[in-house]
Chains A and B, each alone.
Chain A
Amino acid sequence: GAGVSQSPSNKVTEKGKDVELRCDPISGHTALYWYRQSLGQGLEFLIYFQGNSAPDKSGLPSDRFSAERTGGSVSTLTIQRTQQEDSAVYLCASSLEVAAYEQYFGPGTRLTVT
């Protein structure tokens, strides 16, 4: 079946602009996770959703970052007033449920802030 998909695959934006990154989890997966992969920080957790609620937002780096999930499916990660340090690959993952151990990752969105 279809895996986790993310769009766009690449995004170049100017400093100060807002961007939205989209994640479509595997159908039927109730848990959804966002991670960020950057040269300086490696792979870091941002936020996870159980259904439409986000019990753990502890990894969001600043209040410029927000995420939502609607209908227990698609999730959008929004970065406002982008900065150069936001340049990274943003990875989304989903799992059948929060208690499930295997997280399935999407291909990521490469964000470049110029």
Chain B
Amino acid sequence: AQSVTQLDSQVPVFEEAPVELRCNYSSSVSVYLFWYVQYPNQGLQLLLKYLSGSTLVKGINGFEAEFNKSQTSFHLRKPSVHISDTAEYFCAVRTAGFQKLVFGTGTRLLVSP
């Protein structure tokens, strides 16, 4: 069965500092990878996705992620965070041929001035 691991439950960072949110997945078949953001009392919004091709994926709000097949990782990065980036971030995987998303437990990004 697929699983997604987000090792960091919370990541505190200062405004304008870089950040990396880690995601590892387990699957022996082709996968599609996603990062979603959830602001308080809101639904999930797609930040970016990896389907195929270039392993470096750029998304909205200045975020990017790199797919590393050998390490089964899909870490999310931003070179300079803003206060408004404070939210919960979820990594998700979808196995080829299946429709459901399997989510990690989430990482709360806390940006302080």
Q: Which residues of A contact B (CB under 8 A)?
A: 4, 31, 33, 35, 42-45, 48, 55-56, 58-59, 91, 93, 98, 101-108
Complex Cα–Cα for A98 and B105 (A): 24
How far is B46's CA from A48's CA once the two chains are assembled, in angstroms? 19
Total A-B pairs, Cβ < 8 A: 50
Contact B41 A107 (CB under 8 A): yes
Q: Which residues of A contact B17 (CB under 8 A)?
A: none
Is the Cβ of B49 less than 8 Å from the Cβ of A43?
no
Determine whether the beta carbon of A45 is less than 8 Å from that of B100: yes
User: A39 vs B32: C-alpha distance in the bound complex, in angstroms?
Assistant: 26
Indicate if the CB atoms of B100 and A48 lie closer than 8 Å: yes
Q: How many residues of B contact A (CB 8 A)?
A: 23
- From known contacts A42-B105, A101-B51, A102-B49, infer whether A56 and B43 are also in contact, taking CB-CB under 8 Å: no
CA distance A101 to B51 in the complex (A): 8
The answer to the question of B102 belonging to the interface, with a C-beta cut-off of 8 Å to chain A, is yes
Q: Which residues of A have CB within 8 Å of B36?
A: 105
Which residue of chain B lies nearest to A48 when distances are taken between CB atoms in the complex?
A: B99
Contact B94 A42, beta carbon cutoff 8 Å: no
Establish whether residues B32 and A31, one from each chain, have CB atoms under 8 Å apart when the complex forms. Answer: no
A101 & B100 in contact (Cβ 8 Å cutoff):
no
B74 adjacent to chain A (CB < 8 Å): no
In the docked arrangement, what's the CA distance between A31 and B41, Å?
24
What residues of B have a CB within 8 angstroms of the CB of A58 in the complex? 100
